[in-house]
Amino acid sequence: MASLKELKNRISSVKSTQKITKAKQMVAAAKLRRAQEAAEASKPYASRMANVVANLTASMGEGAGGPKLLAGSGDDKVHLLVVMTAERGLCGGFNANTAKAARLKIQELQGAGKTVKVITVGKKGRETLKGNFADLFIDHVDMTEAKNNYTPFALGLGHDLARRFEAGEFDVATLIFSEFKNVMTQTPVAKQLIPAEAPEEVETVDLGGAIYTYEPSEGEILEALLPRYLNTQILSAMLENAAGEQAASMTAMDNATRNAGDMIDALSLQYNRARQAQITKELIEIISGAEAL
């Protein structure tokens, strides 16, 4: 049984940990508010961009070809996975869930005989996957200096993916990230980036029987628009990922704070019982000594 001094030291240690987790929870809550606002603010633009791409694609008709970013390379042998996680831990299963989704996707593609390449965004995903798939890594995006400004990183990654696709380094690019649902729920999703997929559920334009003539043509408009659409998808995913990270961190730190409180209560009870037992023992010794005299 632990001594009173040991129990007292353990209680003091847990209380210090509780202060840290409480502070971390408050910081995550403040960051979550800003990250959630940024993610919500990006959705109207991303949604409208998706509508424009979908309507232009539909107006071209089936088999009309189009820009390479839309039509693809004509093959699907080489798949590039962009795995997006956080730079830091202490956010529950947030990073582990995304890494698990990436692992299952890699195994699925390899099982189908595809060649897989991986670009990691965020340190934690790279650390988790490097044990089994380090030989698949071709690049890494360090987000340490992002500081809530993800636009340069999204543009840089978008340009890099477009360049690699034009160079024939891959046929299909898929982005794996955590979609922010609410404070309690962040769901790992896989979204195909290249070839671009026009969303199915979009607001369609009612032409009332009229026919639009585009100048320049739909293909030329898409040629200029698709790189921006790619960058928009990446930026939107980064913002949702950031919001999900802070939500998961806040929830994890709240649970850690509560668990620390429960542990303090249990240790305090154990300490009081041990102290009471020691006092009772000392009283018995005193009484026994007095009776002996």
How far apart are alpha carbons 72 and 190 in whole angstroms? 18
**Residues paired with residue 203 on neighbouring β-strands, in sequence order:** none
CATH 1.10.287.80 is held by the domain 4-21+253-292: yes
Cα dist from 54 to 22, 127, 205, whole Å:
46, 37, 10
pLDDT in the model for residue 119: 87
Closest listed residue to residue 165, CA positions, set 233, 79, 105: 79
Q: Which DSSP letter does residue 91 get?
A: S
pLDDT in the model for residue 154: 86
pLDDT in the model for residue 293: 64
At 9, list the tokens.
């030291």
Count of beta carbons in the 10 Å neighbourhood of residue 8: 15
Q: Give the distance, in angstroms, between the CA of residue 38 and the centroid of all CA atoms in the same chain.
A: 15
CB 225 within 8 A of CB 75: no
pLDDT in the model for residue 198: 67
Give catalytic residues, as residue numbers.
91
At 129, list the tokens.
């996957």
* CATH class name, domain 41-205+212-251: alpha beta
CB 25 within 8 A of CB 253: yes
Count of beta carbons in the 10 Å neighbourhood of residue 53: 23
Domain boundaries of the chain, sorted by first residue: 4-21+253-292, 41-205+212-251
Per-residue pLDDT of the chain (293 residues; tens, 9 = 90+): 567 888 888 888 888 888 888 888 888 888 888 888 888 888 787 778 777 777 777 666 555 566 777 777 788 888 989 988 888 877 878 888 888 888 898 988 888 888 888 888 888 888 888 888 888 888 888 888 777 788 888 888 889 888 888 888 888 888 998 888 777 778 888 888 888 776 666 565 555 655 666 667 767 777 778 888 888 888 888 888 888 888 888 888 888 888 888 888 888 888 888 888 888 887 777 777 777 76
Residue 182 identity (one-letter amino acid): N
How far apart are alpha carbons 208 and 213 in whole angstroms? 15
Closest listed residue to residue 85, CA positions, set 96, 70, 74: 96
At 10, list the tokens.
């353990």
How far apart are alpha carbons 201 and 50 in whole angstroms? 10
pLDDT in the model for residue 52: 77
pLDDT in the model for residue 61: 59
How far apart are alpha carbons 141 and 136 in whole angstroms? 15
Is the preceding omega at residue 152 within 30 degrees of 0, hence cis?
A: no
Q: Give the distance, in angstroms, between the CA of residue 141 and the centroid of all CA atoms in the same chain.
A: 14
Residue 62 region by backbone torsions, left for phi larger than 0, else alpha for psi between -120 and 50, else beta: beta
Same fold, 4-21+253-292 and 41-205+212-251: no
CB 230 within 8 A of CB 155: no
CB 157 within 8 A of CB 82: yes
| Confidence (pTM) | 0.79
